[in-house]
Amino acid sequence: MKIIEKAIKEGKTTLSEYESKQVLAAYQIPVTREILVNDVKDLMNATQEIGYPLVLKGCSAEITHKTEKGLIKVDIRNDDDATVAFKEIMANMNGNENAVLVQEMVKGQRELVIGLTRDAQFGPCVMFGLGGIFTEILKDISFRVAPLEKRDALEMMHDIKGHRILEAVRGMEAADLDALADILIKVGQIGLENEKVKEIDINPVLISGSKPVAVDALVVLDL
Amino acid sequence: MKKMANMKTLFDPGSVAVIGASDKQAKLGFHVMKSLTKGGFTGRIIPVNPGSHEIMGLKAFPAIADHDGQVDLAIVVLPAKLVPGVFRECADKGVKGIVLITAGFKEIDDLAGADLHEELAGIANEAGMPVIGPNTFGMVNLHADLNASFTPEFSQVKKGGICLVSQSGGISHLLAFMAMRMDVGFSKIVGLGNRLNVDFAQMLEYLMDDPDTKVIVLYVEGVDEPRDLIEATRKLRGRKPIIAYKTGSGTVGDQASLSHTGSMAGRHDIYTGAFRQAGILYTNSTENLLDAAKAMASCPIPGGPGMAVLSGQAGPGMASCDLCEAAGLKIVRFTGKTQQRVNELLPPLALRTNPVDMGPAWYDSSAIEGIIQAVMDDDNVNGILILMMFASANVDAVKGISDLLVKWAQGKPVISCIQSPPGIWDEQIRALEESGALVNYPTPERAARAMAALWEYSKIKDRMEQD
The answer to whether residues A43 and A83 touch, using CB atoms and an 8 Å cutoff, is yes
> A143 — contact with chain B (CB < 8 Å)?
yes
Superfamily of domain B301-466 in CATH is: Succinyl-CoA synthetase domains (3.40.50.261)
Q: How many CA atoms lie within 13 A of A179 on its CB side?
A: 18
DSSP assignment of B308-336 equals EEEESSHHHHHHHHHHHHHTT-EEPPPPH
Together in a domain, A75 and A127 = no
Sign of CA dihedral A104, A186, B230, B198: negative
B304 CA: distance to closest CA in chain A (Å) = 19
Q: What CATH number is associated with residue A201?
A: 3.30.470.20
pLDDT at residue number B1: 63
Q: Which amino acid belongs to residue A109?
A: Q
Task: Give, in degrees to the nearest 5, the angle at Cα B297 between B35 and B295.
Answer: 120
The per-residue DSSP string of B171-193 comes to HHHHHHHHHHHHT-EEEEEEE-T
pLDDT of residue A127: 97
Alpha-carbon gap: A121 to the closest alpha carbon of chain B (Å): 6
Q: Is the pLDDT of residue A65 over 70?
A: no
CB B308 within 8 A of CB B339: no
* Domain C-terminal end among A55, A88, A104: A104
The residue out of A104, A133, A155 marking a domain boundary is: A104
Rounded Cα gap, residues B113 and B103, in angstroms: 10
| Residues A139 and A202 placed together within one structural domain of the fold | yes
User: Cβ separation of A218 and B259 shorter than 8 Å?
Assistant: yes
Query: Hey, what CATH topology would domain B1-134 get?
Result: Rossmann fold (3.40.50)
Give yes or no on whether B157-298 and B301-466 have one common fold: yes
Evaluate whether B419 touches B390 at the Cβ level (below 8 Å). yes
With contact defined as beta carbons under 8 Å apart, do B243 and B218 qualify? yes
Beta-carbon count within 10 A of B276 CB: 19
Q: Are residues A18 and A113 in the same domain?
A: yes
Q: Which residue of B has its CA nearest to A62?
A: B258
Select the more confidently predicted residue: B394 or A172. Answer: A172
What's the CA gap between B39 and A196, in Å, rounded? 55
Contacts for B35 with CB less than 8 Å, ≥ 6 apart:
B138, B147, B148, B149, B150, B151, B152, B154, B155
B261 touches chain A (CB under 8 A): yes
Residue B394 has a pLDDT of 83
Q: Would the CB atoms of A145 and B277 count as touching at under 8 Å?
A: yes
Question: Cα(A48)–Cα(B420) distance, rounded to whole angstroms?
Answer: 80
Q: How far apart are CA A24 and CA B289, in angstroms?
A: 41
Residues A68 and A142 in one domain: no
Q: Which residues of B touch A123 (CB under 8 A)?
A: 227
Please check whether residue B311 is in contact with residue B386, taking contact to mean a CB–CB distance below 8 angstroms: yes
Alpha-carbon distance B351 to B354, whole Å?
Answer: 8
Reduced to 3 states (helix: H, G, I; strand: E, B; else coil), residue B169 is helix
Q: Do A203 and B257 touch (CB under 8 A)?
A: no
- What is the separation, in whole angstroms, between the first and last Cα of chain A? 14
CATH number for the domain harbouring residue A45: 3.30.1490.20
B157-298 adopts what CATH topology? Rossmann fold (3.40.50)
Tell me, what's the pLDDT at B261? 67
Interchain contact, A145 vs B272, CB within 8 Å: no
CA quadruple A100, A103, A107, A112: dihedral, nearest 10: -70
In the prediction, which pLDDT does B119 show?
A: 95
Looking only at the bridges linking them, the beta strands covering A197-208 and A110-119 are: antiparallel
pLDDT of residue A64: 65
B226, closest residue in chain A (CA to CA): A122
Whether A21 has its CB under 8 Å from any CB of chain B: the answer is no
- Note whether A19 and A120 are same-domain residues: yes
| Residues constituting chain A | 223
Q: How many Å apart are CA B400 and CA B368, to the nearest integer?
A: 8
Q: Could you tell me how many residues make up chain B?
A: 467
Tell whether A14 and A58 lie within a shared domain. Answer: no
A112 and A6 within one domain:
yes
> Is A13 in Cβ contact with B227 (below 8 Å)?
no
pLDDT tens for chain B, 467 residues: list them.
678 889 999 999 999 999 999 999 999 999 999 999 999 999 999 999 999 999 999 999 999 999 999 999 999 999 999 999 999 999 999 999 999 999 888 777 777 888 999 999 999 999 999 999 999 999 999 999 999 999 999 999 999 999 999 999 999 999 999 999 999 999 999 999 999 999 999 999 999 999 999 999 999 988 878 888 888 888 888 899 999 998 876 555 555 666 666 666 667 888 889 999 999 999 999 999 999 999 999 999 999 999 999 998 889 999 999 999 999 999 999 999 999 999 999 988 778 899 999 887 777 888 889 999 999 999 999 999 999 999 888 888 899 899 999 999 999 999 999 999 999 999 999 999 999 999 999 999 999 999 999 999 999 999 888 76
Is B148 or A66 the better-scoring residue by pLDDT? B148
Find the distance separating the first CA and the last CA of chain B, reported in whole Å.
26
Task: Indicate whether A190 and A80 sit together in one domain.
Answer: no
Q: Which residues of A touch B195 (CB under 8 A)?
A: none
| A113·B260 Cβ contact <8 A | yes
Q: Judge if A19 and A78 occupy the same domain.
A: no
Rounded to an integer, what distance in angstroms lies between the CA atom of residue B285 and that of residue B68?
Answer: 48
Query: Which whole-number Å values give the CA distances from B229 to B233, B243, B387, B409, in the listed order?
Result: 6, 13, 38, 35
Q: CA B445 to CA B443: how far, in whole Å?
A: 5
In this structure, are A131 and A181 located in the same domain? yes
Q: What is the pLDDT of residues A3-55, one digit of tens each?
A: 999 999 999 999 999 999 999 999 999 999 999 999 999 999 999 999 999 99
- From CA A197, how far away is CA A191, in angstroms rounded? 6
CA B344 to chain centre: 43
- Residue A62 sits at the chain B interface (C-beta within 8 Å): no
The whole-angstrom distance between B77's CA and the closest CA on chain A is 31
Residue A95 pLDDT:
63
* pTM for this model (two decimals): 0.89
Q: What is the DSSP letter of B55?
A: E
Kindly list the domain boundaries of chain B, sorted by start residue.
1-134, 157-298, 301-466
| Interface contact B261-A117, CB threshold 8 A | yes
A125, B270: Cβ pair inside 8 Å?
yes
pLDDT tens-digit readout, A91-149: 888 766 678 999 999 999 999 999 999 988 889 999 999 998 888 889 899 999 999 99
Interchain pair B265, A152: CB under 8 A: no
The predicted pLDDT at position B320 comes to 96
Q: The domain containing residue A161 runs over which residues?
A: 2-30+107-221
* Total number of domains in chain A: 2
Final residue of a structural domain among A104, A121, A154: A104
Question: B187-205 burial, b for 16+ CB within 10 Å, e for fewer?
Answer: bbbbbbbbbbbbbbbbbbb
Based on the domain organization, do A120 and A175 belong to the same domain?
Answer: yes
Measure the CA dihedral B75/B79/B81/B84, to 10°.
0
Average pLDDT, chain A: 92
Whether A157 and A90 share a structural domain:
no
**Neighbour-count burial of A204, counting CB atoms closer than 10 A to its CB (0-12 exposed, 13-18 middle, 19+ buried):** buried
